[in-house]
Amino acid sequence: MDCLYGFACNPCSFACPHGAITKSSTSTVPHVDYDKCIGCMECVYQCPGLAIFGYDLRKDNLFLPIEYEVKEKEVVYLVNNYGERLGEGIIEKVLHKPNKTNIARVKALDVHGEDLVKVRGFVVKENYPQPLDLEPLLKDQPGATFICHCDDVTLDEPTNPENPDIEKEETYMRVEAKVLQWNLVSRDVILE
């Protein structure tokens, strides 16, 4: 799971039928109890942030969330969080659920065992046959603090007088509307 910032999101904690995922509050990151997890992948479907990944180390299968169209049987480069190639795989199946995150079930061809858990995504080989031109990491550069990642609202945005585009009240309303929307989503998940 790559959910590193505690923000107002929690479908994963309602998704797990075995109670393996908990969030103590909306401002903390989720906790996974792997002793309870049976690998059903329901949480991968339910995570809107594409932050949960599934691995079957015995069968070299990866369950990777995707938000674009891919074809089954395509050969892909398996990549880590930095876009670096780790090996190759083949998309065996694209799993869909209405209004949920799609999952590509990918068979790893030359990555095995514990190395599989380094894989976080893939690049379709035919589309990008050349090595990717990777930019340096931005993680060490100072950046804005976000109070809402869904609409990219930064901490200083509501009060920054140099922000001519967004009125103060409008920004607060957007944040409140987003929180309300998440509450409704959470309620729907409970009712499902």
- Sites of contact with ligand SF4 (CB under 6 A): 1, 3, 9-12, 15-16, 18, 20-21, 30, 32, 37-43, 47, 49, 51-52
- Which of 15/78 has CB closer to ligand SF4? 15
DSSP 48: T
Q: How far is the CB of 186 from ligand SF4 (least distance, A)?
A: 10
C-alpha gyration radius of the chain? 19
User: DSSP letter string over 54-111?
Assistant: EEETTTTEEEEEESS---TT-EEEEE-TTS-EEEEEEEEEEE--TTS-EEEEEEESS-
- Which of 75/179 has CB closer to ligand SF4? 179
**CA-based torsion, 1, 74, 90, 39: positive or negative:** positive
- Which of 15/79 has CB closer to ligand SF4? 15
Q: How far is the CB of 13 from ligand SF4 (least distance, A)?
A: 7
Q: How far is the CB of 150 from ligand SF4 (least distance, A)?
A: 10
Q: How far is the CB of 177 from ligand SF4 (least distance, A)?
A: 18
- Which of 31/96 has CB closer to ligand SF4? 31
- Which of 103/158 has CB closer to ligand SF4? 103
Distance CA 33, CA 22 (A): 8
Q: How far is the CB of 103 from ligand SF4 (least distance, A)?
A: 11
Exposure of 114 in the CB half-sphere (CA atoms within 13 A):
0
> Which helix or strand (DSSP H or E) is residue 26 part of?
none
